[in-house]
Amino acid sequence: MSFTLTTPLYYVNDKPHLGSTYTTIACDALSRFYRRQSQEVIFITGVDEHGQKIERTAQSNNLLPQDHCDQIAQQYKNLWTSQQITFDRFIRTSSNSHKSLVHEFFKRVEASGDIRLGRQKGWYCVGCEEYKDIEPNDKNNEPECPIHLRKLEWRDEENLFFCLSNYQEKIEELVKKDSFIMPESRRNEVRSFVSSGLRDFSISRIDVNWGINVPGYPGHTFYVWFDALLGYLSGCLLPSKSKSLSSLSKNGWPASVHVIGKDILRFHAVYWPAMLMSANLALPEKVFGHGFLTREGKKMGKSLGNVLDPKSLIDSYGMDSVRWFLLRNIEFGKDGDFQNKRFIDTVNSDLANTIGNLLNRSTSMSRKWFENKTSKPDKLRNNIYMKSCCEEAIENYIKSFVKLDFKKAASEIITIASLANLYLNEQEPWKKIKNEDERQTVENILYDVLETCRIIGFLIEPLTPDLSIRILSQLSIDPSIQNWADNLKWGQLEESKPLPEPKPVMERIEIQEEL
């Protein structure tokens, strides 16, 4: 069975930002981890392209909506490609195949008796693409959206509704499962929301030209969220000859995990499973809602002038630096703060110093004392200290990744790198090598440290793929050999293997003030 994971389908109102990059990097790390476990992975990402907000944004730029979507969608694709994101499917909700699937899904839900016609009245935010429960209801007194800080629009129109209230008991049972929503704080939020009573929600809008038409209801287009959530199904079917819902189970559905921002949690953890139940389709196994990113303790925004452009950040500091900081420094599931000094200190301390210096000095000593090769360990040794350290770290690392605890997984790598540095300092092979009687001891010490570096090179690959290649190349190991079943076992480093001349695998970085 495949492991299917998804990012949100990013809304194309603007170019990619650091938040969408963070989510995508996390999903990429997860996909790489499961591929190293020899599991078939289907990694779905893409863009959500419909709605009045897109229509107005395009108009403000003197573009047709499709042209606007084409431009922004390509920016996402280009950024993910340049970052070596290993996505398998990139879905666009403006595609004809997606439109056909939305129509098929709607007909299933309608046949289940879960669609009704009604009126929607209230204050509407085009930026959020949703109605707001905001008082007063006096349409002459226009309140503002608390998120976008713009005046809301009064709406009173005919809409189609999905009968979410029909699924109160089933959704209550679903969200009781500890495994369905992660982390716990998000799970508690959803349980509270569901316990207050589920209300039917609007799934269509009128007088919105840029959207998918609702079959049988002239003038209605699908509400952007009803349309967008179905993109996960379209993504599964992208390479399939059959685009029918009946083919989903053969093409990677249900999803193993939806990775999303916490602001869209209720759509994925409540509305989405109810819609799938209505259409008689399998539910995703897990929904993981991560936190937001701030900068130097402040929310990022154009008005504040503190938005971090992911492309500029990566161009200035390198992909490995950005990936490492986001996954190592922030507990996935909680809010995180991007601080320049902490970013610089974390990357330099962990990658340049702890890992980079360990590899550099250990390969230098091995080359100097053993004819530019790896040393020959005593194979009859027992109770090898670094072996037990690595085996414990590997076990903890794998458990952490399964829980999407990237910070803990990264810390396990730093732990064994730090222990190896300490081990070298305590054993002082540079002193022992002066005594011919201790030559074998020195060979054992250096082999153990280099073997630890080899394991680090494989473990770090899901987090920092380019750095992994550089580490393994310094050990004369083909980085394309990535079967962890063998490579994470102790003792796989070849003895007496030629080593290239050492060079830093990670340069120290300095603050770029212009970012």
The pLDDT, as a whole number, for residue 298 is: 80
pLDDT at 65: 95
The model's pTM is: 0.94
Domain membership flag for residue 87:
yes
pLDDT of residue 136: 53
Classify residue 236: in a domain, yes or no: yes
For residue 432, the domain's CATH number is: 1.10.730.10
325 is written with which tokens? Answer: 């900081």
DSSP string, 234-265: HHHHTT-S--SGGGGGGTTPSPSEEEEEGGGH
State the pLDDT at residue 482. Answer: 65
Burial of 266 (0-12, 13-18, 19+ CB in 10 A): middle
pLDDT score recorded for residue 304: 64
Examine residue 301 and state whether it is found in any structural domain, yes or no.
no
pLDDT score for 80: 95
Number of separate domains in the chain: 2
Determine the Cα–Cα distance for residues 109 and 105; give it in Å rounded to an integer. Answer: 6
pLDDT of residue 155: 81
Per-residue pLDDT at 302? 64
Do residues 101 and 250 both lie within one domain? yes
pLDDT of residue 303: 60
Within-domain flag for 86: yes
b/e per residue, 74-104, with b = 16+ CB within 10 A? Answer: ebbbebbeebebbbbbbbbbbbeebbebbeb
pLDDT for the residue numbered 135 = 64
Task: Report the alpha-carbon angle 182-187-192, nearest 5.
Answer: 170
Task: For residue 284, give the CATH number of its domain.
Answer: 3.40.50.620
| 147 and 19 together in one domain | yes
Residue 324 contacts residue 351 (beta carbons within 8 Å):
yes
The predicted pLDDT at position 429 comes to 97
Rounded to a whole number, what is the distance in angstroms from the first to the last CA of the chain? 44
Q: What is the model's pLDDT at position 139?
A: 52
- pLDDT by 10s per residue, the chain, length 515: 899 999 999 999 888 999 999 999 999 999 999 999 889 999 999 999 999 889 999 999 999 999 999 999 999 999 999 999 999 999 999 999 999 999 999 999 999 999 999 988 888 887 777 777 776 555 556 788 877 777 888 888 899 999 999 999 999 999 999 999 999 999 999 999 999 999 999 999 988 889 999 999 999 999 989 999 999 999 999 998 888 999 999 999 999 999 999 999 999 999 999 999 999 999 999 999 999 998 888 887 666 667 788 999 999 999 999 999 999 999 999 999 999 999 999 999 999 999 999 999 999 999 999 999 999 999 888 889 999 999 999 999 999 999 999 999 999 999 999 999 999 999 999 999 999 999 999 999 999 999 999 999 999 999 999 999 999 999 999 887 667 878 899 999 999 999 999 999 999 999 886 66
User: In terms of residue numbers, what domain contains 271?
Assistant: 3-291
Residues 66 and 205 both lie in one domain: yes
